[in-house]
Structure 1
Amino acid sequence: MPNASAASSADPTVVARRQAFGRRLRELRVTTGRTQASTAAEAGIDRAFYVNVENGKNNISLDKIFALADALSVDAAELFRGLDS
Structure 2
Amino acid sequence: MDLEHAALQVGRGIIPPPLREYGASEVRSVTRAFNHMAAGVKQLADDRTLLMAGVSHDLRTPLTRIRLATEMMGEQDGLSRGVDQQRY
TM range (shorter): 0.3 to 0.5
Question: Highest relative contact order (Cα 8 Å, sep 6+), 1 or 2?
Answer: 1
Q: TM-score, normalised by structure 2?
A: 0.32
Higher helix share: 2
Q: TM-score, normalised by structure 1?
A: 0.33
